């Protein structure tokens, strides 16, 4: 029986690297994969997944209107579906991924952030946490050495941003992964 997996972590935990390694493992064994990434995140080009260590692959971009179940069905035989930036999925799209696992027998590996810069769940992540067959936390480290679980948004001067849109694309220039204690201290000012 195929499963829906949710690999979650804070920023800079190696989610994209892990996804690209899983993709390589499937393809190395002669199996077919289909990769998706959020269209909103085009920092490395539209429809590209790239890791900070230099791995990259082409992917199908998705937005809120994309029917993931139909996209995979239109592709034909697929042995595994891998989704980067899964926090940007809609709850309906997460349900489509569950249908791929349950009805089509295709394993789905979704990778994304659990929470935003204010410590709130993303809608896609919330739905994945609710219905995924397996939840796997990837680890990142705070500057203090503890496990980083939170994503602090920072401004150009490195100061905490406490308000704003839930989604603002950026990397190390905009976000810092922190443990809960240091996140709360930064948010309190």
Is residue 16 marked as binding?
Answer: yes
Is residue 144 marked as binding?
Answer: yes
Please give the domain boundaries of the chain with CATH numbers for all domains: 4-139 (3.40.50.300)
Quick: pLDDT tens for 96-128: 999 999 999 999 999 999 999 899 999 999 999
Quick: pLDDT tens for 149-178: 999 988 888 888 887 776 666 556 788 999
Per-residue pLDDT band for 61 (boundaries 50, 70, 90) equals very high
Q: Is 163 a catalytic residue?
A: no
Give residues with Cβ within 8 angstroms of 82, minimum separation 6.
19, 22, 23, 33, 34, 35, 36, 108, 109, 110, 111
Q: How many residues does the chain have?
A: 189
Is residue 12 marked as binding?
Answer: yes
- Under a CB-based contact definition with an 8 Å cutoff, are residues 50 and 16 in contact? yes
What span, in angstroms and rounded, lies between the C-alpha atoms of 94 and 83? 10
What span, in angstroms and rounded, lies between the C-alpha atoms of 42 and 48? 7
Out of 85, 137, 157, 168, pick the active-site residue: 85
Other CB atoms within a 10 A radius of the CB of residue 118 amount to 16
pLDDT average, residue stretch 69-97: 96
Angstrom CA distances, 86 to 109, 155, 185, stand at 10, 25, 28
């Amino acid at each position: 029986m195929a499963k829906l997996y949710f690999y979650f972590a804070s920023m800079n935990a190696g989610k994209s690297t892990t996804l690209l390694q899983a993709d390589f493992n499937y393809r190395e064994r002669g199996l077919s994969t289909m990769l998706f990434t959020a269209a909103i995140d085009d920092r490395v080009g539209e429809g590209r997944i790239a890791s900070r260590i230099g791995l990259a692959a082409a992917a199908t971009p998705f937005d809120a209107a994309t029917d993931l179940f139909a996209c995979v069905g239109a592709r034909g035989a697929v042995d595994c579906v891998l989704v980067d930036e899964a926090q940007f999925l809609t709850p309906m799209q997460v349900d489509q991924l569950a249908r791929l696992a349950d009805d089509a027998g295709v394993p789905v590996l979704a990778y994304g952030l659990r929470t935003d810069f204010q410590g709130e769940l993303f809608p896609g992540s919330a739905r994945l946490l609710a219905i995924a067959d397996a939840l796997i936390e990837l680890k990142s480290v705070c500057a203090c050495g503890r496990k980083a679980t939170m994503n602090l948004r920072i401004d150009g001067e490195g100061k905490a941003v406490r308000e704003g849109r839930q989604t603002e694309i950026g990397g190390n220039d905009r976000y810092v992964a922190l443990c809960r204690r240091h996140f709360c201290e930064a948010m309190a000012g």
